[in-house]
Amino acid sequence: MKSTPQVEALLTSWERKLRADNKSPATLRAYRYAVESLTTWALDVGRPTEPAEQTRGDLQDFVAHTIATMSNGTVGTRYRNLRQWFRWLALEDEISVDPMATMSHPQIHEKVPNIITDADLRALIAVTSGREFNDRRDRAIIRLLLDTGMRRGELVGLNVADVDLDGQVLLVKRSKTHRGRLVPIGTKSTAELDRYMRQRRTHKAATDPALWLGRAGPISGALVAKMIEKRCTEAEIPKIHPHRFRHTAAHRWLLAGGQEQDLARIAGWTPGSVMLARYGASAASERAREAHRRISPGDSL
């Protein structure tokens, strides 16, 4: 990515403000990447790079470029992040006119990952049925991701003290939304987590507060992704990204007749959020067919 000294100076000030607003490091990286992408494009095509000189037409052309070269999800994220960038610049009087103020969100259809099939889920659970430490840990992680729909960062942020096996609940403190919440877990997840925690007591890093341990200590979100990829290979199923468990958990909850407001509370969404609406709409046809099998107006006569 390319930048200029002027843009970099403004980015530094914006990031200082974002940190004061308690935005996550991931959010800061996403905002920076959006601005650097715009600057790189402007340098490559000979458009103005300084925000005060960029026009609505420049931004529309950049959005058209992202639509032609990037995924739908990236287009939407890039657009929203740049809106925040220019809004801040206008509030700080760094620009006299916000070039995106009258722009409309690009008409795109964001793709939501397919749900994980029951067969693939059973295969994943089967390859973690051993008694070794990693088997117990991986099985518990897979069960929890499916059972709760929690984010990968929330999972690896759990401490031993955040687990209440008797109450069958987890305390999620490291959340994307910065709001802690209690997350209920099912009987099978509780049993697998109990087995893992018993074996965890024998680990050389057992005194570490982090719940999930690897060979050298606490594991990261990246290692969770690698673990799932490895287990997919062992199970001879297509690679699964950890976030698909979140989508699958939401789908299975709604398919079983669960309420959206309860799902939002458990999974850490704001009620009425765009993401909850997207997840609710995905695979809705399957849920409608299942509902019809239960209700069937014609069968009641």
- Burial (CB < 10 A; 0-12, 13-18, 19+), residue 193, is buried
Looking at the fold, whether 30 and 123 belong to one and the same domain comes out as no
pLDDT at 287: 72
pLDDT > 70: what percent of the chain?
89
Q: Is 11 a member of any domain?
A: yes
> 129 or 216, which is more confident?
129
Q: Is 292 a member of any domain?
A: no
Looking at the fold, whether 129 and 25 belong to one and the same domain comes out as no
- Which of 244-248, 262-266, 288-292 shows the lowest mean pLDDT across its residues? 288-292
Looking at the fold, whether 194 and 83 belong to one and the same domain comes out as no
The count of domains in the chain is: 2
Task: Give residue 29's domain range.
Answer: 5-91
Q: Is 294 a member of any domain?
A: no
Over the stretch 60-69, which tens digit does the pLDDT of each residue have? 999 999 988 8
Q: Is 233 a member of any domain?
A: yes
Mean pLDDT of all residues in 43-67: 94
Over the stretch 187-226, which tens digit does the pLDDT of each residue have? 999 999 999 999 999 999 999 999 999 998 999 999 999 9
pLDDT at 19: 93
Looking at the fold, whether 270 and 131 belong to one and the same domain comes out as yes
Mean pLDDT of all residues in 224-250: 94
CATH number of the domain at 81, please: 1.10.150
Residue ranges with strand state E in the chain = 163-164, 169-172, 181-184
Residue 269 has pLDDT above 80, yes or no: no
Looking at the fold, whether 82 and 125 belong to one and the same domain comes out as no
Pick the last residue of a domain from 73, 91, 109: 91
Looking at the fold, whether 38 and 150 belong to one and the same domain comes out as no
Mean pLDDT of all residues in 86-96: 96
Q: What is the DSSP letter of 184?
A: E
pLDDT at 6: 93
Strands, sheet with 181-184, edge to edge from the N-terminal-most edge strand: 163-164, 169-172, 181-184
Looking at the fold, whether 141 and 230 belong to one and the same domain comes out as yes
Looking at the fold, whether 35 and 136 belong to one and the same domain comes out as no
Looking at the fold, whether 123 and 267 belong to one and the same domain comes out as yes
